[in-house]
Structure 1
Amino acid sequence: MGYLYAILASLLFGLNGSTTKVIVEAGVTPAQLTFARVTIIAVVAGVVLLIKNRHAFRITRRQLLVMAGLGLFGVALVQWFYATAISLLPVGIALMLEYSGVLMVAMAARFVFQEQVKARIWVAIGAVLVGMALVAQIWASPLSGLGVIVGLLAAVCLAVYFLVGERQVASTSPLAVLFWSMLFASAFWFFFSAWWQFDPMLLVSRTSLGGSLESVSLPLWLLLLWNGLIGSFMPYLLSYLALATLSATGAGIVSTSEVIFAFAFAYLWLSESLDVIQMLGVLIVLTGIVLAQTARAGQTLDLDLARRDPPVTKQH
C-alpha cells in the first residue's frame, strides 16, 4: 500500500500543476493563489493537529523564528515562483525546473554542511544540466527566459525548504512543521498578495478548464478549494501514509514521478506537448534527480519531509 499512497500523492501533485495554470489564466494572480493555497493547508493542518496532537502547537521561540523563515522562503516564495513559472512556461517544464532544487540540496550538503556525499552527485549535476539544456532547447530559445529564471528561483527556495525543514522534523511532528510553515506563509501573503484587489464575484463565475476540457466549466471557488485541499493537503497526507511502510529513500524516488504526471496531465488536458529531443531531456533530468536523491550518504529527502532515512552508523 505504501507505493500506492506515494504514487497517488505524486499524481495529485502533478495534476495540481494544470489546475494552477487554469486558475491563474482565469484572473487570479500567482500571489493571490498562493495566499489561498497556503491558508487552506494551514487551516486543515491546524484542525487535524487540534484533534490529534495539541502538544504540537507548543514550540520554542527559536523554533518559531525558524518556522517563520521556512514559511517565508521555503513555502511562500517557492509556491509563488512556481505559480509564476507556470504562467510563463509549460507546466511540466516549470515543475522540472523547481525539482532541480533536489540537486541544490545535495550540493549544499557537500559544500556548506560538509556532509558525506557520494560521487554520483557529479553525474547527477551533469545529467540535470544536459537534460535541461535539451528541454529548453537553448540553441533555439523557445522558452520564456523570465519563466526559466523564475523556475530556477523556485528551485533555490525548494532547496531551502528541504534543508531547513528536514532539520525541524527531527524535533517536532511533520504535520506541525507543515502547519507552522504554512501559517507564516499565509501571514506573509496576507500583506503582500493584494487579496483586497480580488473581485469576490470572480469566485462564483464559471471558469472553463481549457484545452481538451474547453467545454467544461466550474465555479472558480471550487477550483481554488481543489487546489488547496485535494491538490495540496491530500498529497501531503498520502505521503505520510506512504512513509508508514516505505523508507524515505523509496518514497523520495517515487515522488519524482510527479514530473511525469505533470507532463502527462498537461498534455492530455492543456495540449502542452514536447518534441522527441525535449522528452529525452526530461528523462535525463529525472535520472539526475534520482541520483541526487540518493547521493547524500545515509539519508534521502522526500517532498513532505515526513521522515528521513536514519544516518548510517559505523559498526565497531
Structure 2
Amino acid sequence: MSVATTSTSRGLLFGVLASLAFSTSGAFIKPLLESGWSPAAAVTLRAGIAAVVLLPIAVVSLRGRWAALWRARWRVLGMGLIGVAGTQLVYFASLQRIPVSTALLIEYLAPLLLVGYVWVTTRRAPRAVVIIGSVVAILGLVLVIGPGALGAAVDGLGLFFAALAAVGCAIYYVIAARPSDGLPPVAFAASGLLLGSVVLGVVGAVGLVPFEFASNSVALFGAEVAWWVPLVIVAVIGTAFAYVSSIAASEMLGSRLMSFVGLLEVVFASILAWILLGEALTLLQLLGGAAILAGIALVRSEKQADAPLEPGSVDELATGQIAVISPGPAPALARDTIADGDPAATVLTAPGATKP
C-alpha cells in the first residue's frame, strides 16, 4: 500500500470521527438553548472551554518549535476570525431571517464552492465522476435536512448571510488543509479556538448578537443536571476533539474531499437526534445519508494522476507534485431549534451539525 493511499485512509478515518464528534453538539447544546441560553453565548463558551482544554497539550506539542506558531500566524488568524467566529456570526444572522433548514442547506453547499474553486484556479474542469458525486451528495443533503428547505426562504438578506456562511465554511476547509509547516493540529486548533472565542465574546459584549446565559439546571436525556455538564461535554468532544480531528483530516485529504466528508455531520446528527432525543428518522433521511456516502465515494474515486491535487493534502506531498494553494468549519447544529454554524450550537429540529 502506497504512502498516499495509507494517508488518505487515515484522513478518511479522522474525517468521519470529526463529523461524528461535531454532530454531538446539537443533542447537548439543545438543553441549554431551551433553558434560556442564546446560541452565541453557548458557542462562545463552548469554543473557549475547548481552547482551555487543548492549551496544555498544545504547549507540550510546541516545545522546541514555537517558531512554527509564528510562521502560521496568518493561518491562525484566518481560522479564528473566519473559521470559528465569522462563519458562526453570519450563520446566526441568517437564522434571524430564514428557516434553519434553509440556512443549513445553503451553508453545506461549501463542497460545491470548493469544486468550483479548484476548477477556476487550475483551469481544469472536474472529471464527470466528481460532478456526479457532487450532485448525488447535495441531493442526499436535501433529503436529510428536508426537501422543504428548498424554496422555503424569501428574505434576500437572510439568503445572503447564509451564502456568506457557506463561503466561510469553505474557507475553513481550505485553511485547515494548508501545509502545517511544523505546527501540530492540536496547537493550531487551540490557538484558532482561543482567538475565535475572544472575538465572539467581544461581539456579544457590545450587543451585536444576543448574548444570554442561564444558571439553572437543564434536562439532559431525562435527568436534571447542572448547566455546565452538557457544555463541558460538547466542548471536549464536539469542539476540542472535533476540531483537531477535522484539521488533521483536512491536511491529509485536502479541502475538497474533506468538505464532502463533512456532510456526514448532518447524517450523524439525525441519527443521534433519533437515538438520544427520540426525534423520528424518516426513510428519506436514510436514503439521503446513503446518497451522501455515495457522493463521497464518487469524489474520492477520482484518479489523482488525472485530476488536480487537493491543496495541502498528503497525497500531493507524497507524489512530489505542486498544487495551487489557496488562501484561507464549521458549524455543528441540531434540528428545528436554533443552531450556530460548523462549529457551533443550535436550536433546530432538523439535522444539524458543525463544522467549521
**TM-score bracket, shorter-length normalisation:** 0.7 to 0.9
Find the residue that maps to 1:272 and give its secondary structure.
Answer: coil
Change (3 A) 1:38 1:257: same
1:99–1:289 contact (8 Å) kept in structure 2:
no
Tell me the CA shift for residue 47 of structure 1. 1.4
Aligned partner letter, 2:200? W
Partner of 2:129: 120
Q: CA deviation at 1:191?
A: 0.9
Tell me if structure 2 keeps the 8 A contact 1:95–1:262: no
Paired residues for 1:223-242 under 5 Å: 223-237=230-244
Aligned-pair distance for 1:163?
A: 1.3
Q: Residue 261 of structure 1 is aligned with which of 264, 268, 275? A: 268
Structure 2 segments unaligned to the other structure (5+ residues): 1-8, 322-356
- Cα shift at 1:207: 0.7
Q: Kindly state the Cα deviation for residue 160 of structure 1 after the two structures are TM-superposed.
A: 0.3
Counterpart in 1 of 2:200?
Answer: 189
Superposed CA RMSD: 4.2
Q: Which residue number corresponds to residue 309 of structure 1?
A: 315
Matched, 1:25 2:22: no
- What letter corresponds to residue 30 of structure 2 in structure 1? K
CA displacement, residues 204-229 of structure 1 (integer Å, 9 cap, x when unaligned):
x21113xxx3x322211111111111
**Other structure's SS at 2:315 match:** coil
1:51-90 aligned at under 5 Å gives the runs 51-58=60-67, 63-80=72-89, 89=100
Q: Distance between the aligned counterparts of 1:266 and 1:283, measured in 2?
A: 18
CA distance in 2, matches of 1:5, 1:131: 22
TM-score, normalising length: structure 2: 0.65
Q: Tell me the SS of whatever aligns to 2:225.
A: strand
In the TM superposition, what is the alpha-carbon distance from 1:288 to its structure 2 partner? 2.9
* C-alpha separation in 1, matches of 2:272 and 2:181: 35
The equivalences for 1:1-316 within 5 A come to 8-58=17-67, 63-80=72-89, 89=100, 98-112=107-121, 114=123, 117-134=126-143, 135-138=145-148, 153-170=164-181, 172-194=183-205, 202-203=214-215, 205-209=216-220, 213=221, 215-237=222-244, 248=253, 252=258, 257-292=264-299, 297=307, 299=309, 308-311=314-317, 312-313=319-320
Shift of 1:264: 0.5
Aligned residue type for 1:280: L
Write the distance in 2 (CA, Å) between the matches of 1:139 and 1:7: 25
Distance in 1 separating the partners of 2:73 and 2:92: 27
Paired with 1:24 and 1:308, the residues of 2 have a C-alpha distance of: 40
Give CA deviations for 1:280-315 in whole Å, capped at 9, x if unaligned: 3443344334444565747568xxx9x63334457x
CA distance 1:190–1:300, change in 2 (3 Å): same
Inter-partner Cα distance in structure 2 for 1:102 and 1:62 = 28
Distance in 2 between residues matched to 1:162 and 1:12, nearest whole Å: 16
* CA distance in structure 2 between the partners assigned to 1:228 and 1:79 by the alignment: 16
Paired letter, 1:288 = G
More off after superposition, 177-186 vs 166-175: 166-175
Measured at CA, do residues 48 and 9 of structure 1 come closer, stay the same or move farther in structure 2, by a change above 3 Å? same
In structure 1, give the amino acid aligned to 2:51.
Answer: A
Change (3 A) 1:133 1:8: closer
Q: Which stretch of the first structure deviates more once superposed, 123-132 or 3-12?
A: 3-12
- Report how far residue 73 of structure 1 moved: 1.2
Give aligned pairs, total: 298
Query: Which residue identity lines up with residue 43 of structure 1 in the other structure?
Result: V
Report how far residue 71 of structure 1 moved: 1.4
CA 1:61–1:242: 2 relative to 1, 3 Å? closer
- The AA in structure 2 aligned to 1:310 is E
More off after superposition, 78-87 vs 129-138: 78-87
User: Using a 3 Å threshold, how does the CA distance of structure 1 residues 24 and 156 change in structure 2: closer, same or farther?
Assistant: farther
Which stretch shows the higher mean deviation, 103-112 or 130-139? 130-139
TM-score by length of 1: 0.72
**5+ unaligned residues in a row in structure 1: which ranges?**
none
Residue 265 of structure 1 and its aligned partner are, at CA, apart by 0.7
Which deviates further from its counterpart, 290-299 or 23-32?
A: 290-299
TM-fit CA distance, 1:172: 2.8
Amino acid of the structure 2 residue aligned with 1:230: I
How far does the alpha carbon of each residue in 1:142-166 deviate from its partner, in whole angstroms, 9 at most, with x for none?
A: x667788766543321110111232
